[in-house]
Amino acid sequence: MSNWSIEEAERVYGVSQWGGGYFQIGENGNVHITPVPEDPSIRIDFNSVIEDIRKEGVQFPVVVRFHDILRSQVAGLNKAFRKSITEAEYQGEYQGVYPVKVNQMREVVEEIVDAGKPYNYGLEAGSKAELLTVLAMNTNEESLTILNGYKDDEVMRLALLGRKLGRKVVVVVEKFTELLLLVKVAKELDIDPIIGVRSKMTVKGRGKWESSGGERAKFGLTITEIINAARYLEEQGMAHCLKLLHFHIGSQLTDIRAVKEAVTEGARIYADLHKMGFALDYVDVGGGLGIDYDGSNSTNESSRNYSMQEYVADVVYGMKEMCDLEGVPHPHLVSESGRAITAHHSCVITEIVGEIKSNAADMDTSAKEGEHFFLKNIRELAETFDEQENMHEVYNDASQYKEQALDAFKLRVIPLEELAKIETLYWQIMGRLQTWYRKEEYVPEELQELDYSLSSQYLCNFSVFQSAADTWAIDQLLPVVPLTRMNEEPTVNCSLVDITCDSDGKIDQFTIGREITDVLPMHPLKRDEPYYVGLFLTGAYQDVMGDMHNLFGRLNEVHIYSYDDDPEDFYIEEVVKGSSVEDVLNVMQYNPRAMASDVKRLIDRHVWDGKLNPREGVRWTDFYEKCLSGYTYLKQ
């Protein structure tokens, strides 16, 4: 064995780079989880988690949720704000909210609300359904409920219901006409609303979501509209209701400079409104706090060049500086970080169910009489490989023989078997060329493709469209790593493909060190031992945005809590069953029961006709029904 080490594995998979303090490679080569970073004595081995999942009889793929990580992130963000506020002697408080659109799962929202209680951490809703949810979930009267997104009459009434129930519901006006509607409904119901205005910022975030800011942004009021809104409220005797200034310049801000610029711009608007006589209580800096998905700590699209504490410090100090210069009080600070709260807490565990390799098949290529000279030529090239001097020429010759052979086959000059032998020899030569070029400094361009064309595809029992929508939709990078065997050298370069019949259902972008690559080294599959890989940082957006492409439904979930007194440091608190085939068929308007009886009738007819014996008929009927009520993924 080579001098492979855990350090080498760390270099390839970067677990502690993207792991946010929660994931490491253990000495035994398994991924370890430390869900409470302040308490490193709680250390969970992923292999034990897999064993428990199997013991529970839960089928893979599985979403694993670490509730302690959610709690740690909520506490971490609030503590970061408290730290900077104390250090800066900032006069306002932090009153954060969690935007539920990032992960609306009830268990996730409940955990966040519970962990946020000591900090009066609230919730944000962006639609009617989300508002109905947060009105029921956010019962802490001290915390904020922020309402963004486009609104109708019903939404306004629901917000005012919240006010009636004693909640701090802030209606953030996204366009001017919403203000007119809100004032009308508020007067009709005689309830004082808490009003926020969203500013269309001139500064744009950089990265994939940069169109959330700038003058063409979909949401928000221009400066002129903000002033008109304030004046309108004054006219209506409701100036005291205007309490919050909001902005959001995009998600996953990769460059800290965008944050600084936005805070400066927002603080300036707040300060001038104050001087015009509109004393707002809150400035809401929106979301955007990024996650280092590729572990590069850079302005790569899937990374960010700052830490949570740096982000928070820039918000606090930026606001303080401007307010002090302008001589206005420090407002309370609100942020709507979603991605940063939830991304780490969940991951998808799937089994590799096969290997696809274009050059895997071999056949006897020994010479036979009367064979075509193309085959003779390429065999000779293979046999004299070690004596060759110009390897680039070897590549060109081999490629040419193969192409000519294919033409000759189509023209009925060579038979199928000879073509197969030529193909076998061709791939043998390519494999040797790959080894030869590995130690060369200069590799000609067409040969750089060799690594990719000789790489394997590992077939994963999951659907990219259900479990990692953003890797398909916007080329989001998510860390993928084997969960065990990292103390062994991974010798198979591969990309991952899913089990949908869509060729877009694949993951072929990874980072190794700081480099983006199209293959990732994995371990060779063993016949009698399952090989599990984890797709990490799926807790934000990925968990809830997936679709049912190919009728693959939601995944089985296990919810994990740490427990120091347990020998494995954890227990499975809940198993949430994923979609059955029946479930997804119902969504698509089928009637699975009727389908089952249709199929039964067909089977019965074959029994009557004597084409099927009755016992066999019953077995097939039961089998069809069992599959209908089963999981949509492959059974291992």
Ligand X SMILES: *Cc1c(COP(=O)(O)O)cnc(C)c1O
Binding site for ligand X (CB under 6 A): 99, 101-102, 126, 148, 248, 251-252, 286-289, 336-340
What span, in angstroms and rounded, lies between the C-alpha atoms of 238 and 195? 10
Closest CA to 9 of 524, 493, 515, 489: 489
| Residue closer to ligand X, measured from CB, 97 or 450 | 97
Quote the least distance from Cβ 248 to ligand X, whole Å.
Answer: 4
Residue 45 CB, shortest distance to ligand X, in Å, is 31
Beta pairing, strands 346-356 & 532-535: antiparallel
> Distance of CA 233 to CAs 144, 242, 259, 481, 562, Å?
22, 8, 30, 55, 51
Q: What is the DSSP string of 331-365?
A: PEEE----HHHHGGGEEEEEEEEEEE-TT------
Q: Which residue is nearest to ligand X (CB)?
A: 287
Tabulate helix, strand, coil % of the chain (nearest 5).
Answer: 45, 15, 40
> Which residues make Cβ contacts (< 8 Å) with residue 242, sequence separation at least 6?
195, 196, 197, 229, 230, 233, 278, 280
460: annotated active-site residue: no
Q: Which is nearer to ligand X, 53 or 259 (CB)?
A: 259
Residue spans of alpha helices (H) in 343-462: 373-383, 391-410, 416-438, 445-448, 450-453
What gap in Å lies between CA 176 and CA 125, rounded to an integer? 19
Element (H, E) at 113: helix 106-116
Report the C-alpha gap between 620 and 614 in whole angstroms: 10
**Smallest separation, CB 556 to ligand X (Å):** 26
Q: Could you tell me the strand order of the sheet in which 332-334 lies?
A: 97-99, 122-125, 144-147, 168-173, 194-198, 242-246, 282-284, 332-334
Closer to ligand X by Cβ: residue 337 or 456: 337
- Alpha-carbon gap, residue 404 to 257, rounded angstroms: 57
Among residues 62 and 100, whose Cβ is nearest to ligand X?
Answer: 100
Q: Which is nearer to ligand X, 267 or 343 (CB)?
A: 343
Determine which helix (DSSP H) or strand (DSSP E) holds 482, and give its type and residue range: strand 480-482
List the structure tokens of 197: 């205005």
Q: For residues 339 and 523, which CB has a smaller minimum distance to ligand X in the complex?
A: 339
Q: Which of 241, 347, 460, 501 is catalytic?
A: 501
Active site residues: 501
